[in-house]
Amino acid sequence: MFPVYLLVLVLPGILLLASFVRNHFFHPLRKFPGPFWAAHTDLWRVYHLWTKRLPDTMVTVHEKYGPVVRVAPNELSFQSVEILDEVYKGGRRFIKSNMYDGFTAFHPNSFGTRDEELHAKRRRQMAHSFSIASLSQMESIFNRHLNNLINAIAAQGAKPFDLKNLIGYYAYDVMGELAFHADFGSQEAQDPSKLPPINEHIFLGCLFGMLPSLLPYSMRLANYVPLPWLQTLLRSRKALRDQTSSCVGTEMAREKTSDKHSILTRLIRAKDPETGERLTEMAISSEAFAFLVAGSHTTSGTLTLLFYHLLHNKSAAEKLTEEITACVPLQATAGDSLPAYSGLEAQLPYATACIRENFRMSPVFNMPLPRIVCDPEGAVIDGIYVPPGTNVSMVNHVLHHNASVWGIDHDVFRPERWLDPSKPLSPNDLAPFGAGHRACIGRNVATMSIVKVLTAVWRRYDLEVLDPTEELIVESVGIGEKQGPLMVRAKLRAE
């Protein structure tokens, strides 16, 4: 009789060999090119996530293997912008994969849910709160915290300071008051350790999600795994969850007696225009968690990278200065005179081109966004047949550095490409907030902050970067940010 202990030792090897043989010789995706290990294990992508350079790695992989690459045993990554229309605007033919389950802290929210009916209902309940019309009614909140940012820069005098930190404090405080009517006080405290551990939560979500065969057991058992780094990530997620619960509880109690509005109070009062149904407290907490995670960090990361690109590109900086100083008087960059968002982008076409070029060069929300091919007949994407049940994905950093769309200078920050009438480009070829009906619902919040901060800060201060030769390194855990500080000096511009 075969000894049991030998069976225990041999069986894993047999299973691994069988998996290797299937993935290499019999899997429906075997004909697609890609890294050897990616075809056999999800750990290939987890490793590159761990290096915090996955978006750059994906660009390199596509340059080597072509426009369609097998990046996991059952996943294809696409480089062509056609995937935006064919997949991400393809409705229920392509639903989110179980990767998104890794981000669940309460119940699935509008970002993570794979239930298309639930997502549609949530969007109906929340859409008005994130509209430009609704946000314009709360523009004084943006202005108050923008004034605090302007004053914080002034307080530095001639000393060097980290602009990345100051922008982070601004974005967190704006989201606190805008979403929760809460004073987070980070601009006053100026303590980076008090900023929420958003990177840790996103990294944990990507880590769970990129090992889909282990879900949901990996999330349930993680608390019992004695790995210090994993326990640190789990504590960070719990801290965000506790902070969200506190904000929601406070706002639900205040909502009945206060006439002041926040996104959360509007969410509490919101009704589905089709059914009249309101959100439950758990649903509100789930959505509020998404506000806290996505609302501040993506905005601060984008603004930091925008200022980096401008401060390391003399020509673009000079053109931006010329445009903004001609359109915005100095006295309109502080106090009660900050320029209103409405119409600002139309008045500042070069500034708008700079913002778009920054979205293209360095998109912050740069995790893979897998969808499942649901049609039992499969799907044709960019002219290529994809079998049913396959995960298909794009990384916007890959799309934004596709030389066939953006030219051989796709690695160059050149805002003028957006203003060339002989080679018109479409903002629809960008995906900084995702694409289609599952695109980020809070993109208007981010855009309003980015436009207002760039206009006011650039008009008011002449910024000088301390190290003009610094090479940009963007670290990504699913959401990217500039590695290290952005050290600058500032002096008041002339009238």
Query: Please, are residues 222 and 102 in contact by the beta-carbon 8 Å criterion?
Result: no
Q: Which residues are annotated as a binding site for heme?
A: 440
- Find the distance separating the first CA and the last CA of the chain, reported in whole Å: 93
Residues near 3 by beta carbon (within 8 Å), at least 6 away in sequence: none
Q: Kindly state the tokens that stand for 145.
A: 């915290």
Query: Which phi and psi angles does 416 have, rounded to 5°?
Result: -60, -20
Cα–Cα distances (Å) from 261 to 253, 276, 448, 452, in that order, read: 13, 21, 18, 21
Query: Please, are residues 136 and 287 in contact by the beta-carbon 8 Å criterion?
Result: no
Q: What is the C-alpha to C-alpha distance for residues 239 and 201, in angstroms, rounded to an integer?
A: 10
- Per-position DSSP letters for 54-93, written without gaps between them: HHHHHHHHHHHH-SEEEEETTEEEE-STHHIIIIITSGGG
Q: What is the C-alpha to C-alpha distance for residues 212 and 204, in angstroms, rounded to an integer?
A: 13
3-state SS, 158-170, equals CCCEEHHHHHHHH
Query: Please, are residues 490 and 466 in contact by the beta-carbon 8 Å criterion?
Result: no
Nearest alpha carbon to residue 71 among 54, 50, 83: 54
Q: Which residues are annotated as a binding site?
A: 440
Cα–Cα distances (Å) from 358 to 305, 351, 402, in that order, read: 7, 11, 15
Residues near 408 by beta carbon (within 8 Å), at least 6 away in sequence: none
Find residue 393's DSSP bridge partners.
77
Nearest alpha carbon to residue 197 among 171, 225, 236: 236
CA dihedral defined by 410, 396, 477, 472, rounded to 10 degrees? 10
